Amino acid sequence: MQLLNKKPESLLDVKMHYCPGCGHGIIHRLVAEVMDELGIRGRTVGVAPVGCAVFADTYFNCDMIQGPHGRGPAEATGIKRAKPDTIVFSYQGDGDLASIGMAEIVHAAIRSENITVIFVNNAIYGMTGGQMAPTTLMGQKATTCVEGRNAKQAGYPIRMSEMLATIDGATYLERTTVHTAPGVVKTKMAIKKAFQNQIDGKGFSMVEILSMCPTNWGTRLDNPSEATKFVAEGMLPVFPLGVYKDACAADKK
Amino acid sequence: MAEKKLMKGNEALAEGAIRAGCRFFAGYPITPQNEIPEYMSWRLPQVGGAFVQAESEVSAINMVYGAGATGVRCMTSSSSPGMSLKQEGISYAAGADLPIFIGNVMRGGPGLGNIAGAQGDYWQATRGGGHGDYRCFVMAPNCVTELGNFPHKCFEVAFKYRLPSMVLADGILGQMMEPVEFKHPEIDPKTLTEPAWALGKCEGRDKRIVKSYDLKEGGVEIMVNERVQRYKAIEQSEVLYEEQMIEDADIVLVAYGISSRVCVAAMKQAREKGLKVGLLRPITLWPFPKARLIELSKRVKNFLVVEMSLGQMVEDVALAINGRANVHLHAKPGASVITADEVCKTMDKILKKEAKEYAAVK
Amino acid sequence: MYQGIRISGFGGQGVISAGVLLAQAGMMEGKEVSFFPAYGAEMRGGTANCSVVVASDQVSTPIVTAPDTAIVLNEPSLAKFEPMVKPGGLLIVNTSLVNSKPTRKDIKILNVPCNEIASELGNPKIMNMVAMGAFAAATGAITVDAIAKALPKVYKKLKPEVIELNVKALKRGAEFKIS
């Protein structure tokens, strides 16, 4: 008998706390598979965020650090500059990266910090229980906008990949999704490229991944298609998939 | 003795940190400490280190949090308003047991205050400043030579006990030039053993995690209690203070940093007039020289705390003396300079029993 | 021995470097010294001033609030620093740029046309050295020789001939006597 598909070495065999239908488990596995395939596990340091993925530090089988909310890119900068031969990734959610950590992510891109950022966008605060996120859609209900997000009170969702694409220091920016099988495959390719860029010293790379949060979206846990439908019909029109920036550091002036 | 060099306090602190093995610095401009990042920006690359001008103090302290997690000796610096911003990161570093080094060149506050030298961040520095149960090792230099030499001790204590360490200076010390003498041999970081918790290469060993949280019931209690044991050891072994003319003193001045130098002048003036005045200068603000104060209070009747704040360290003095002697306060907030004459006048009042005690004998 | 000095003038008159020079010279003579610049917002608007202490004991505070000597190189500095000079102290006035006359009777006044002398020597930039020479001779707190020896330590990029010119300025300044 031949084992065709095993748990990646870069992911520990522990029980995850993520809810049924959540995208984090898939994304964790993709990052771990990429680490395995690139042979970098032994020299990688991961930065866990504040938010649902806070426990990522216990799931990934590489050195991990967990720090203040939104400061992942700053922590990653410190690690990378202090130990340039390590591979450093920052794993962040939308509240972490696009709200409280907006300055840190923007300036890591401005410095073209040679790190990899995995940005999981599910348009909601998960860990704290479903509050409005900076990426929450117009009209989308959350516990801090019970009638749905309205522009007068809460403005509009932020498109991080598009915004960061305006920064000269950003090397590679792609938005993918994990709500479909082809999306998962594409996401893995993007993650692999984002890590390869770092190995090659090309500078700042970020993959923005649209992901599901059935628990806080209020979609049915026993019917995951409700959540994938929300991604397809709600999120995709606001957050179009695609490569927003792909420039080698060498090409940048 | 090495040749003395005229140096600015801020530059001496930066050079002292590098000589103590510091190889990473992140900071953000704020007066009156700008010479520290400026110096680091050209000096660190010379020794194979890295400098980052961060987008904010918040980011700078978190860069240091990351760098510190790799076991590299690292530093950030700021002045009062910027230190407020760093408190989040300092709390996390304390919670993750990271031996980072911080320089605070104090200015007048609260708020934007002013840019002159002050001592209003004593509570912030010695009480933790950020959220949660923790301590920082805090040293208070009173001259440029000490600014150049204290980073050595700060790194040593920080790595031995695994906690953030701090030099608490002020705008006067930071901006002034004085002859400086570096007393410690320069440390080559390559000769230091990598700590057993340092992140980097997990190849061939179990993965390591640097974190400040434990959501299990009772988890943080265990973490903090373990830390308390280390804090107790620090209080036992790492207290530093300096005394002058204390043996026969009727009044003991208690002052740290730049204020202690004003007190030396006041003490000499008073001695010339025949007053028996001595000086106790805490060099470590945490741990505080509590035991020495208790001992002195058995004999000395009057203590006068002199500080450029509304009166912050005086609380620690009163707490240590606990009603065994009179504690008086000569305090000036808002970064106003205290003169020796003023201190002498207050001492006269104390001796004539015209001064109101801060805390009287019980 | 204690000598607290305040030097003040326009930015560009070499106020700060002259202060550092005095401290360097004092240190090389084996004295306790300190230098403290006015910094930040105080520096804006084109004026500069600094405090220097040369003493036999450790300096208690580097900020000189009652100077033994104030050296005022421009008009606004006279108004600011004349009142601060200790009774019996010394006020050195750059009469090339200060038109007003000092009013205090309880201090010594030394008038030196620094800019004119510097121009005579062929370099207006060295006017600060004329003032330092006058200070050295009038107070004896630091010798002209010590200041001359400190010059290359502070002005590291200056060519030897320019250092020589600075020494000349020091010596010319030292010829002025309190009237």
What chain C holds in terms of domains, given with CATH numbers, is: 2-174 (3.40.920.10)
Taking the C-alpha atoms of residue A51 and residue C173, their distance in angstroms, rounded to an integer, is 71
**pLDDT for res B128:** 83
Which of these, A180, A249, A211, lies nearest to A91 by C-alpha position?
A: A211
Which sign does the torsion angle of CA B149, B151, B155, B157 carry?
positive
Taking the C-alpha atoms of residue B174 and residue B104, their distance in angstroms, rounded to an integer, is 10
Chain mean pLDDT for chain C: 94
The residue assigned the tokens 């390591």 is B208
Structure confidence by residue, pLDDT tens digits, C50-103: 999 999 998 999 999 999 999 999 999 999 999 999 999 999 999 999 999 999
Judged by a CB distance cut-off of 8 A, whether residue B31 touches chain C is: yes
Secondary structure (3-state) at B27: strand
Secondary structure (3-state) at B190: helix
Distance from CA of A77 to the nearest CA of B (A): 6
CB pair distance less than 8 Å for B66 and A54: no
Q: Give the tokens for residue A117.
A: 């950022």
**pLDDT for res B77:** 98
Secondary structure (3-state) at A54: helix
Taking the C-alpha atoms of residue C18 and residue C142, their distance in angstroms, rounded to an integer, is 13
Q: Give CA torsion, residues B167, B169, B174, B177, to 10 deg.
A: -100
Q: Give the tokens for residue B217.
A: 């019931």
Which of these, A16, C61, C114, C176, lies nearest to B262 by C-alpha position?
A: C61
**pLDDT for res B2:** 60
**pLDDT for res B140:** 98
CB-based contacts of A170: which residues, under 8 Å, 6+ apart? A109, A112, A164, A203, A204, A206, A245, A247
CB pair distance less than 8 Å for B210 and A66: yes
Chains sharing 3 or more CB pairs under 8 A with chain A: B
Structure confidence by residue, pLDDT tens digits, B131-147: 999 999 999 999 999 99
Rounded alpha-carbon distances, angstroms, from residue B99 to A7, A56, A175, B82, B154? 36, 24, 38, 20, 9
Ordered alpha helix ranges (H), B162-256: 171-175, 219-237
Taking the C-alpha atoms of residue A91 and residue A46, their distance in angstroms, rounded to an integer, is 7
CB pair distance less than 8 Å for A54 and B213: yes
Distance from CA of A57 to the nearest CA of B (A): 7
Backbone angles phi, psi at A63, to 5 degrees: -60, 140
Chain C residues within 8 A (CB-CB) of chain B?
20, 23-24, 27, 33-37, 39-41, 57-63, 65, 153
In our burial notation (b when 16+ CB lie closer than 10 A, e otherwise), range C44-73 reads: eeebbbbbbbbbeeebbbbbbeebbbbbbb
Structure confidence by residue, pLDDT tens digits, B125-184: 999 899 999 999 999 999 999 999 999 999 999 999 999 999 999 999 999 999 999 999
Which residue of B lies nearest to A110 if distances are taken between CA atoms?
Answer: B55
Count of C-beta atoms within a 10 Å radius of residue B262: 25
Question: Domains in chain A: how many in total?
Answer: 1
* Residue A40 belongs to some domain of the structure: yes
Judged by a CB distance cut-off of 8 A, whether residue B44 touches chain A is: no
Interface with chain A: mutation pick from B52, B56, B63, B213, highest number of A CBs within 10 Å: B63
Judged by a CB distance cut-off of 8 A, whether residue A33 touches chain B is: no
Structure confidence by residue, pLDDT tens digits, C147-157: 999 999 999 99
What would you measure as the largest C-alpha separation in chain C, in angstroms? 43
DSSP state of C40: G
Which of these, B65, B62, B60, lies nearest to B28 by C-alpha position?
A: B60
Mean pLDDT of A209-234: 94
Judged by a CB distance cut-off of 8 A, whether residue A224 touches chain B is: no
Which of these, B284, B348, B28, lies nearest to B141 by C-alpha position?
A: B284
Mean pLDDT of C34-63: 86
Mean pLDDT of B106-132: 96
Peptide bond into A8 cis (omega under 30): no
Amino acid type, B72 = V
Q: Give the tokens for residue B128.
A: 């933790």
Structure confidence by residue, pLDDT tens digits, B24-54: 999 999 999 999 999 999 999 999 999 999 9
Q: Is the pTM of this model over 0.90?
A: yes
**pLDDT for res A222:** 84
Helix (H) / strand (E) containing B286: strand B284-286
Taking the C-alpha atoms of residue B183 and residue B201, their distance in angstroms, rounded to an integer, is 35
Amino acid type, C86 = K
Q: Are strands B302-307 and B326-331 parallel, antiparallel or unpaired?
A: parallel
Taking the C-alpha atoms of residue C39 and residue B207, their distance in angstroms, rounded to an integer, is 49
Interface with chain C: mutation pick from B10, B172, B175, B271, highest number of C CBs within 10 Å: B175
DSSP state of C84: G
Which of these, C78, C82, C73, C76, lies nearest to C130 by C-alpha position?
A: C73
Q: List chain A residues with CB under 8 Å of B50.
A: 81-82
Annotate A126-168 with DSSP letters as a single string.
TTTTS---TTPPTT--BTTBTT---HHHH-----HHHHHTT-T
Q: Do domains B5-201+224-237 and B241-351 have the same CATH topology?
A: yes
Per the rule left: phi > 0, alpha: psi between -120 and 50, beta: everything else, A213 is beta
Which residue of B lies nearest to C33 if distances are taken between CA atoms?
Answer: B178
User: Angle B48-B49-B52 (CA atoms, 0-180°, nearest 5)?
Assistant: 140
Distance from CA of B174 to the nearest CA of C (A): 10
Q: List chain A residues with CB under 8 Å of B92.
A: 67-68
Confidence of residue B79 (pLDDT cuts 50, 70, 90): very high
Distance from CA of B264 to the nearest CA of C (A): 7
Distance from CA of A181 to the nearest CA of B (A): 31
**pLDDT for res C41:** 62
Domain that holds residue A41: 24-251
Mean pLDDT of B55-64: 98
Distance from CA of B166 to the nearest CA of A (A): 19
CB pair distance less than 8 Å for B52 and A81: yes
CA atoms within 13 A on the CB side of C5: 31
CA A144 to chain centre: 23
Class assignment of domain B5-201+224-237?
Answer: alpha beta
**pLDDT for res C75:** 95
User: Angle A228-A229-A232 (CA atoms, 0-180°, nearest 5)?
Assistant: 90
Q: Give the tokens for residue B353.
A: 């029993």
Structural domain boundaries of chain B? 5-201+224-237, 241-351
Structure confidence by residue, pLDDT tens digits, A182-201: 999 999 999 999 999 999 99
Judged by a CB distance cut-off of 8 A, whether residue B94 touches chain A is: no
Topology of domain B241-351, per CATH?
Rossmann fold (3.40.50)
Confidence of residue A250 (pLDDT cuts 50, 70, 90): very low
Confidence of residue A249 (pLDDT cuts 50, 70, 90): very low
CB pair distance less than 8 Å for B201 and A60: no
**pLDDT for res B356:** 86
**pLDDT for res B227:** 98
Distance from CA of B314 to the nearest CA of C (A): 21
CB pair distance less than 8 Å for C23 and B262: no
Q: Give the tokens for residue B334.
A: 């808002």
* CATH number of the structural domain spanning residue A165: 3.40.50.970
Distance from CA of A118 to the nearest CA of B (A): 17
Mean pLDDT of A218-247: 94
Nearest to C33 among B172, B179, B337 (CB): B179
Mean pLDDT of B347-357: 91
Nearest to B339 among C24, C59, C65 (CB): C65
CB pair distance less than 8 Å for C36 and B6: no
CB-based contacts of B94: which residues, under 8 Å, 6+ apart? B128, B130, B132, B134, B135, B136, B163, B164, B212, B227
High-pLDDT (> 70) share of chain B, % = 99
Judged by a CB distance cut-off of 8 A, whether residue B32 touches chain C is: yes
Q: Give the tokens for residue B333.
A: 């907030």
Chain mean pLDDT for chain B: 96
Amino acid type, A88 = V
Taking the C-alpha atoms of residue B306 and residue B337, their distance in angstroms, rounded to an integer, is 11
Q: How many CB pairs under 8 A join A and B?
A: 143
Judged by a CB distance cut-off of 8 A, whether residue B63 touches chain A is: yes
Taking the C-alpha atoms of residue B313 and residue B291, their distance in angstroms, rounded to an integer, is 15
CB-based contacts of C11: which residues, under 8 Å, 6+ apart? C43, C46, C47, C48
CB pair distance less than 8 Å for C59 and B6: no
CB pair distance less than 8 Å for B200 and A63: yes
Confidence of residue A221 (pLDDT cuts 50, 70, 90): confident
Helix (H) / strand (E) containing C166: helix C160-174
Q: Are strands B241-244 and B277-282 parallel, antiparallel or unpaired?
A: antiparallel
Residues A183, A230 contacting (CB under 8 angstroms): no
Structure confidence by residue, pLDDT tens digits, B238-275: 999 999 999 999 999 999 999 999 999 999 999 999 99
Q: List chain C residues with CB under 8 Å of B258.
A: 61
Taking the C-alpha atoms of residue A113 and residue A76, their distance in angstroms, rounded to an integer, is 9
CB pair distance less than 8 Å for C65 and B115: no
Judged by a CB distance cut-off of 8 A, whether residue B177 touches chain C is: yes
ipTM for the whole complex:
0.94
Q: List chain B residues with CB under 8 Å of A109.
A: none
Taking the C-alpha atoms of residue A230 and residue A210, their distance in angstroms, rounded to an integer, is 11
Judged by a CB distance cut-off of 8 A, whether residue A79 touches chain B is: yes
Q: Where are the beta strands (DSSP E) in B71-141?
A: 74-78, 101-106, 137-139
Chains sharing 3 or more CB pairs under 8 A with chain C: B
The residue assigned the tokens 């794993």 is A91
CB pair distance less than 8 Å for B264 and C33: no
Which of these, C90, C93, C92, C94, lies nearest to C107 by C-alpha position?
A: C90
Taking the C-alpha atoms of residue A217 and residue A227, their distance in angstroms, rounded to an integer, is 8
Q: List chain B residues with CB under 8 Å of A43.
A: 200-203
CB pair distance less than 8 Å for C39 and B337: no
Interface with chain B: mutation pick from C22, C27, C34, C65, highest number of B CBs within 10 Å: C34
**pLDDT for res C43:** 58
Distance from CA of C141 to the nearest CA of B (A): 17
Q: Give the tokens for residue B149.
A: 């030499």
DSSP state of A233: I
Confidence of residue C45 (pLDDT cuts 50, 70, 90): low
Judged by a CB distance cut-off of 8 A, whether residue B224 touches chain C is: no
Q: Give CA torsion, residues A224, A228, A231, A232, to 10 deg.
A: -150
A251 pLDDT above the threshold of 80: no
Q: List chain C residues with CB under 8 Å of B261.
A: 58-61
Residues A241, A234 contacting (CB under 8 angstroms): no
Mean pLDDT of B288-294: 98
CB neighbour class for C21 (10 Å; exposed up to 12, middle 13-18, buried from 19): buried
Per the rule left: phi > 0, alpha: psi between -120 and 50, beta: everything else, B4 is beta
Annotate A202-230 with DSSP letters as a single string.
--EEEEEEE---HHHHT--TT-THHHHHI
Chains C and B touch (3+ CB pairs under 8 A): yes
